[in-house]
Amino acid sequence: MKKRISLIVTILFITTITTAFAVEGLRFSITESKSLATANSKQAAVDEMTIKTKESALKDAEKDANKSTGANTKIDKLNNRIAKEVTTVKAAADLEYAKRVKEENIKKLELEVYKATTNMLLVRKELEAEKGKLAILDEKYKMAEVSLREGKLTENDLHDAKYALDLKSIDVNKVTNKLEAANLELKRVMGLEMNEDMIEIKDVLSLDSRAKIDIEKVVENALNNDVELYIKSEELKASEKTMELTKEGYEQGTATYDGNMLNLENAKVDLEDAKVNLEVSIRNKYNDLLTAKDKVDLAYKWESINKNKLDNAEFKFEKGLVSKEEVLNAKEKYLDAQYQTYLAIYNYNIVKAEFDTLYVK
């Protein structure tokens, strides 16, 4: 009865979410995008089937362990002991592993959605910058036409201005196509219909400035909670128990003893290697995060410098000290610096999201 009520509540919840999305059209926050992607996930259904399979395997293992079978040989006796004391434990561990993998896959899907949504936000900023530069070059071209009529420029100068304008138009088209590709990628990860309708993201591209990371605590928590370390640890426990049972009936030098000892040593090495590799990957990703943050700080400074240059150029232009073209040049550099800041923020946020998803438990 409780399961039926839970299922009904879940269906109503999903229906409510879907209805809300339908009303708003293709306009989502990042959080809403994650929820919809999870609801549409085929991998989640596969993971649930895997869990059901592991549950059945555990029941079968428990039944086999309770069976009373004849054991005429040493190896039969050992296998019976393993079935009773090891196989069921392994089956239980496999079930827990399947459950954890499902949770991990949901987190990875949410990370994929986050990357796709923030990429959409970044490409939109790039398009804004390129359109801004196009407007500047268009103004320069019109100025060149006036200067040509006044005899201040040659035909070649006008052609150069037109060529620069045409090239920038191509750049705008490229980024427009890039936005369309980003839109399709977001629809793919969200499980939406693949059409040309553009998704609008409610959020803005801003720096993820959450609490400072305690890297030592992150490493410790990851080593204690990582899914792959969990199953390798359980495999080691099973190998240790198998070896303990083996020693009761076999001596070193026999195939059974040596084979199970080899399995035990391999399990130890696999677990230790996995721990080392995990810690190395965490610290490397943390260093990437620090580097990305430094680049954000530099980008902010460079943007500020170019904003001051633009303000200074506009002030001098009002005083008749510099030409309009110098103001436009300063504005173009500022637009580029502004986009580079957004790019640095995007890169930092992606590394931060990867770090949080993979290692922060």
Tens of pLDDT, residue by residue over 40-68, are 999 999 999 999 999 999 999 998 888 75
pLDDT band at 308 (very low <50, low <70, confident <90, very high): very high
Residue pair 266/235 in contact (Cβ under 8 Å)? The answer is no
Of 283, 294, 302, nearest in space to 348 by CA: 294
pLDDT band at 10 (very low <50, low <70, confident <90, very high): very low
Place of tokens 């083996």: 246
Pairing outcome for strands 200-201 and 27-28:
parallel
Q: Write down the pLDDT at residue 70.
A: 63
DSSP-H helix ranges across the chain: 2-24, 30-40, 42-66, 74-82, 88-149, 155-190, 215-225, 227-247, 255-318, 324-359
Q: Write down the pLDDT at residue 359.
A: 87
Q: Write down the pLDDT at residue 2.
A: 40
Range 313-323 average pLDDT: 96
Of 284, 285, 281, nearest in space to 273 by CA: 281
The 8-class DSSP code of residue 69 comes to -
Of 285, 300, 287, 313, nearest in space to 342 by CA: 300
Rounded to an integer, what distance in angstroms lies between the CA atom of residue 114 and that of residue 127? 20
> In the chain, how many H helices and how many E strands?
10, 2
Rounded to an integer, what distance in angstroms lies between the CA atom of residue 324 and that of residue 332? 12
Burial of 280 (0-12, 13-18, 19+ CB in 10 A): exposed
Instruction: Dump pLDDT digits (tens) for 167-177.
Output: 999 999 999 99
pLDDT band at 150 (very low <50, low <70, confident <90, very high): very high
What does pTM read for this prediction? 0.86
Rg of the Cα trace of the chain? 31
Domain ranges of the chain: 1-48+95-205, 208-361
**Is 19's pLDDT higher than 70?**
no
- Token pair of 347, please? 């890169």
**Is 231's pLDDT higher than 80?**
yes
What's the CATH class of domain 208-361?
A: mainly alpha
Rounded to an integer, what distance in angstroms lies between the CA atom of residue 274 and that of residue 232? 8
